């Protein structure tokens, strides 16, 4: 293939320059615009981090208040979008609904077509950050047959999301400070992670000049897979299936067996080879949340910690440097907050929308941007002549 480099999975290909997120996989370091994830997740609000990812600097009080107002102003959905939601079967997976409905936003906002206009790009970015949570909660409401709950713009971003998930027309829902804080932290940890599969998908889709809502829908589709964002749902399914500590060795053996497709979900990472810093934070927070909910003996958490301990003392996992990743403990926290399992990946998508949008904005302003067009190494037959069907 001459000049071509064969790099399946893009193990060693840098597809762009970026100033948003830095990862050092050997040291377990994750920085958003230079700020350590440990500091941001402990101290910042999700919209503060969103501002940082979008604009490059932390906002001062005035800038943050203005940004919060702009985002909250866009939280409503066009009433016609309800028709899309209602078209889905009652047991549709909320991720399937999210892909469809976010994509359909491209049919509502024609100004998003003028992607060469910087102001229009910014409005599309704000709309996405504001509307994806509303669609996500509506997808959940649809799946349980309850009416959609409208956003409340007097609430903070995470409190409003919990309100849209759990209020009903008959009953107000006041999220506990604990739930709001936990969600804020989970959203910050999931907000960006440089050129992962879904972000690269958004960039590739956008490289052709496609509509931003359609590009984000493509990112959501990529996130859904169990090797990516779908892992948080798969972890809880796996822990439930393992059931008891005494069954762990059987599952470890299955994960090591190369003839068995089973993998330990929530384990391993393309970049982190020395513990995922997000998993470290979540393990600690999981402890705190369960304690505060008086659920300290949560059986899934006990099982997860034992599984981690057993796997990390096993040569197979040591040699391959496989550690728990962000998805290993997040599902347990979501579950403790009352969020159903089929919504876990949707929660990831809500948070990651900020990262996708930040990358889209960065890319649109990058003079090096050109259509993404990988090459291939052809392995098929050489030139041959067509035979009429009766001669084959």
Binding site for ligand CMC (CB under 6 A): 9, 196, 227-229, 231, 255, 263-270, 320, 322, 325-327
Catalytic residue status for 327: yes
Distance CA 286, CA 51 (A): 27
Residue with smaller CB distance to ligand CMC, 269 or 283: 269
The backbone torsions φ and ψ at residue 108, rounded to the nearest 5 degrees and listed phi first, read: -100, -30
Contacts of 253 (CB under 8 A, 6+ apart): none
Residue with smaller CB distance to ligand CMC, 32 or 109: 32
Task: Compute the CA torsion angle 352, 53, 367, 126 (nearest 10 deg).
Answer: 70
Q: How distant is the alpha carbon of residue 87 from its chain centre?
A: 25
Task: Give one DSSP letter per residue of 171-223, joined into a string.
Answer: B-----HHHHHHHHHHHHHHS--TT-HHHHHHHHHHTTT--HHHHHHHHHHHH
- 79: which DSSP letter? T
Distance CA 28, CA 276 (A): 6
Catalytic residue status for 91: no
User: Residue 334 Cβ, how far from ligand CMC at the closest point, in Å?
Assistant: 14
Residue with smaller CB distance to ligand CMC, 231 or 289: 231
User: Residue 237 Cβ, how far from ligand CMC at the closest point, in Å?
Assistant: 12
Other CB atoms within a 10 A radius of the CB of residue 292 amount to 16
User: Residue 354 Cβ, how far from ligand CMC at the closest point, in Å?
Assistant: 15
User: Residue 215 Cβ, how far from ligand CMC at the closest point, in Å?
Assistant: 19
Residue with smaller CB distance to ligand CMC, 37 or 77: 37
User: Residue 272 Cβ, how far from ligand CMC at the closest point, in Å?
Assistant: 8
Q: Which of 142, 193, 269, 359 is catalytic?
A: 269
User: Residue 190 Cβ, how far from ligand CMC at the closest point, in Å?
Assistant: 8
Residue with smaller CB distance to ligand CMC, 94 or 266: 266
Residue with smaller CB distance to ligand CMC, 219 or 229: 229
Q: Which of 190, 228, 327, 359 is catalytic?
A: 327
The first and second tokens of residue 102, run together, are 């976010």
Produce one character per residue of 164-178: b if its CB has 16 or more CB atoms within 10 Å, e if not: bbbbeeeeeeebeee
The first and second tokens of residue 140, run together, are 């959940």
Q: What angle do CA 358, 212, 356 make, to 5 degrees?
A: 30
Q: How distant is the alpha carbon of residue 233 from its chain centre?
A: 12
Q: Is 149 within 8 Å of 135 (Cβ atoms)? A: no
User: Residue 388 Cβ, how far from ligand CMC at the closest point, in Å?
Assistant: 45
Residue with smaller CB distance to ligand CMC, 65 or 237: 237
Q: Is 354 within 8 Å of 49 (Cβ atoms)? A: yes
The first and second tokens of residue 305, run together, are 């910690």
CB nearest ligand CMC: which residue? 268
Distance CA 208, CA 307 (A): 44
Q: Is 338 within 8 Å of 166 (Cβ atoms)? A: yes
Residues annotated as catalytic (active site), given as ranges: 269, 327
């Amino acid at each position: 293939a001459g000049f071509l480099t064969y790099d399946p999975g893009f193990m060693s290909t840098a597809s762009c320059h970026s100033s948003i997120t830095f990862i050092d996989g050997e040291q377990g370091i994750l920085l958003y615009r230079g700020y350590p994830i440990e500091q941001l997740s402990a101290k910042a609000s999700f919209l503060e981090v969103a501002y940082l990812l979008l604009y490059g600097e932390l906002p001062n009080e005035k800038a943050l208040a203005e940004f919060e107002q702009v985002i909250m102003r866009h939280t409503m959905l066009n009433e016609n979008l309800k028709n899309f939601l209602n078209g889905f079967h009652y047991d549709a997976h909320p991720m399937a609904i999210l892909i469809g409905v976010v994509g359909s936003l491209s049919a509502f906002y024609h100004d998003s077509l003028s992607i060469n206009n910087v102001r229009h790009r910014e409005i599309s970015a704000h709309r996405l950050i504001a509307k994806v949570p509303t669609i996500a909660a509506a997808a959940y409401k649809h799946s349980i047959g309850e009416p959609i709950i409208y956003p409340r713009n007097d609430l903070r971003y995470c409190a409003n999301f919990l309100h849209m998930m759990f209020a009903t027309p008959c009953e107000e829902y006041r999220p506990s400070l604990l739930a709001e804080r936990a969600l804020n932290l989970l959203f910050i940890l999931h907000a960006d992670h440089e050129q992962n599969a879904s972000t690269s998908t958004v960039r590739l889709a956008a490289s052709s000049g496609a509509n931003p809502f359609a590009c984000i829908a493509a990112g959501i589709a990529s996130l859904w897979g169990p090797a990516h964002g779908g892992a948080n749902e798969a972890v809880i399914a796996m822990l439930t299936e393992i059931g008891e500590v005494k069954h762990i060795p059987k599952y470890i053996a299955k994960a090591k067996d190369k003839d068995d497709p089973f993998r330990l979900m929530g384990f391993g990472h393309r970049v982190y080879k020395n513990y995922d810093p997000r998993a470290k934070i979540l393990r600690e927070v999981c402890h705190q949340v369960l304690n505060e909910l008086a659920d300290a003996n949560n059986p899934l958490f006990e099982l997860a910690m034992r599984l981690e301990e057993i796997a990390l003392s096993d040569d197979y996992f040591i040699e391959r440097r496989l550690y728990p990743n962000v998805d290993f403990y997040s599902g347990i926290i979501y579950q403790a907050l009352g969020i159903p399992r089929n919504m876990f990946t949707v929660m990831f998508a809500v948070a990651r929308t900020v990262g996708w949008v930040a990358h889209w904005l960065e890319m649109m302003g990058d003079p090096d941007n050109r259509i993404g067009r990988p090459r291939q190494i052809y392995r098929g037959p050489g030139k041959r002549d067509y035979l009429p069907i009766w001669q084959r």
